[in-house]
Amino acid sequence: MIFKSSFIKSGLSFLIVLMLMSGCQSPRKMVYLRKAAKKDSTQIFQQPHKDYNIAVNDVLYVRILTGNPEISALYNNVPASGFSISMSSEADQYINGFTVDKEGKIRLPVLGTVSVEGLTLFDAEKRIQQLADQYLIDATVIVRLLNYKVTVLGEVAQPGVYSHYNDQMTILQAIGKAGDITDLGDKRNVMVIRSVPEGQVTYQVDLTKKELLTSPAFFVKPNDVIYVKPSGSKAFRINLPIMSIFLSSLTTVIVLLQYFENQ
């Protein structure tokens, strides 16, 4: 009986130590960009390419403005008189924006077809400005990207699809929009899924390392999917209530065994 009691006590001690080890995370696993900038020093991290290039199926906001509203209306995708242009919903953007077709072109009123695939927004704006200058005096061209959406999934506070109206957003900003990574998320094991003309590519990134700043996944692109994987302790924490019941039962058994031993 003494042997059984000692064995159970040893097993209980082992389980308690295992719970403590599994429930704790090293500070190194919790801090973003660890050692990215040491005290009293400045480091510059070069990005190979951060400007977004327009792709097929992108939806662009294009406006050509002049001093005459009636002339401006001829060169823009403006609805009939009495209606205002809205870009508040995805349907509005699809109707009032300009979608890049399979040939990489958009069709503008009066100016006609313009090839924009592969151009940055700045270059597309310059190209349309050159066309507009052939017809108009002192025209101003504005080009923006409407379909900048990023999906954030996994161990974040608020998973979902998030819109962004700037052609440059970092993975840290995207995760910030989703309410940051939860305590069960693994900052060292984040996957980015990106669409490219050839298909899909994936990037595995570690948010705790400074090498993130030079990764091609640091600046996210439209339609990227960011998946934060769970930490190794998640399954343990999910099963913790069951283990607590088991440990409680085991403790009861030990107490009973000790009681009978002392009789």
Q: What is the DSSP string of 110-165?
A: TTEEEE-TT-BHHHHHHHHHHHHHTT-SS-EEEEEES--EEEEEESBSS-EEEE-S
Between 5-9, 75-79, 93-97, 206-210, the lowest mean confidence (pLDDT) is in 5-9
pLDDT tens by residue, 79-105: 544 445 555 667 777 777 899 999 999
User: Is 33 or 212 the better-scoring residue by pLDDT?
Assistant: 212
Quick one: 67 exposed, middle or buried, by C-beta within 10 A (0-12, 13-18, 19+)? exposed
CB-CB contact of 194 with 203 (8 Å): yes
Q: What average pLDDT does range 71-83 have in this prediction?
A: 68
Residue among 55, 54, 57, 48 at smallest CA distance from 123: 54
Residues with Cβ within 8 Å of residue 230, at least 6 apart in sequence: 154, 155, 184, 185, 186
H-helix or E-strand containing 106? strand 105-108
For residue 171, what are its two tokens?
């993975």
Reply yes or no on whether the pLDDT at 9 is more than 80. Answer: no
**Which residue bears the tokens 């100016």?**
111
Tokens standing for 129? 């400005």
User: How high is the pLDDT of residue 92?
Assistant: 72
Please say if the pLDDT value at position 239 is more than 70.
Answer: no
Residue 142 in contact with residue 61, Cβ under 8 Å? Answer: yes
Specify the pLDDT at position 93: 73
In the block, residue with structure tokens 């107490």: 255
Spatial CA neighbour of 128 closest among 75, 88, 167, 85? 75
Q: What is the pLDDT of residue 244?
A: 65
- Inform me whether the pLDDT recorded for 156 exceeds 80: yes
Q: Is the pTM of this model over 0.75?
A: no
Cα–Cα dist 139/132, whole Å? 7
